[in-house]
Chain A
Amino acid sequence: MTLFFLFGAIAVVASLLVITQHNPMYSVLLLILSFGALSGLYVLLDAPFVAVIQIIVYAGAIMVLFLFVVMLLNAPKEDTEAARLRLVAPGAAQMGAILAVVLIGELWWALTRTGGQSGAFPAGAVTSVAAIGRSLFGDYAFSFEVTSILILVAMVGAVVLARREGKRSDGT
């Protein structure tokens, strides 16, 4: 329980700091910290495979992509001057706050209606990577193959979108 509170507190505080930082660089680094805490929670949930790919894929690959773009654009300078005053858009701030309160109230209501069940976890968790892989390439084989097409399309799309304009003249 102590570890749960520790990792949960780290995740919540880091996520709150992510959305309050002015510098996107700090936001990305704090989000990596939040992902590390979530990875600890996955270990507590007897899901070591998810914990490992959380670190390798999320913190290692996706966040490095974000860091790369933040450094490439070098945006914090212009963001602080003109947008500091309206970091929070006037109407959106109230709207966002109301929606957040409604959402958390709704979730709290739904969770407290579960009645007498404490929701304690039963014994016998699926922890082996072999079982996950067998299921992934058995029942979920079709989804797995479709995912590869999705990755291919995303890769081609990213290359096309991020390519510089003006290279059209060389006939490509």
Chain B
Amino acid sequence: MMPTLNDYLLLSAVLFTIGTAGVFVRRNLITILLSIEIMLNAVNLTFVAFGRSFGTADGQIIVFFVMTVAAAEAAVGLAIVIALFRHRESLNPDSFTSLKW
């Protein structure tokens, strides 16, 4: 018995939920960025599964673009983390509240 599209979508939903929970629950900037990567990968799995289901290459091409954007996001995000760490010597997002009303 082969795994069906629904199996892949369920797995992807579980991974996306784990990523979302990580963003909300964790208090460490690097772990939050890692949770965002989990969410992006869950979406990638959905794209590839649907592309396979429709029999086109479009899903794989979108995954290619998502990976490019993820690389750019990781580079800029980590640069911001480094700059913030130099200012406050902390990775806890609760300590960066200067812009809060």
Interface residues on chain A, size class: 35 or more
Chain B interface, number of residues (Cβ within 8 angstroms): 75
- Interface residue? A170 (CB, 8 A): no
Enumerate chain A residues within 8 angstroms of B31, measured Cβ to Cβ.
Answer: 18-19, 21, 24, 27
Residues of B within 8 A of A (CB): 1-11, 13-28, 30-31, 33-35, 37-38, 41, 44-45, 48-49, 51-53, 55-61, 63-65, 67-76, 78-83, 85-86, 89-92, 94
6 tightest A-B CB contacts, nearest first: A96-B24, A119-B5, A19-B22, A154-B72, A161-B79, A107-B13
Residues of A within 8 A of B (CB): 1, 4, 8, 11-12, 15-16, 18-19, 21, 24, 27-28, 31, 34-35, 38, 41-42, 44-47, 49-50, 53-54, 57-58, 61-62, 65-66, 69-70, 72-73, 75, 78-79, 82-83, 86-89, 92-93, 95-97, 99-100, 103-104, 107-108, 111, 114, 118-122, 124-126, 131-132, 135-136, 140, 143, 147, 150-151, 153-155, 157-159, 161-162, 164-165
A-B residue pairs in contact (CB < 8 Å), sample of 17? A19-B35, A24-B30, A38-B45, A66-B30, A75-B30, A78-B90, A83-B28, A89-B94, A96-B23, A103-B13, A118-B4, A126-B51, A126-B56, A126-B57, A140-B65, A153-B72, A157-B75
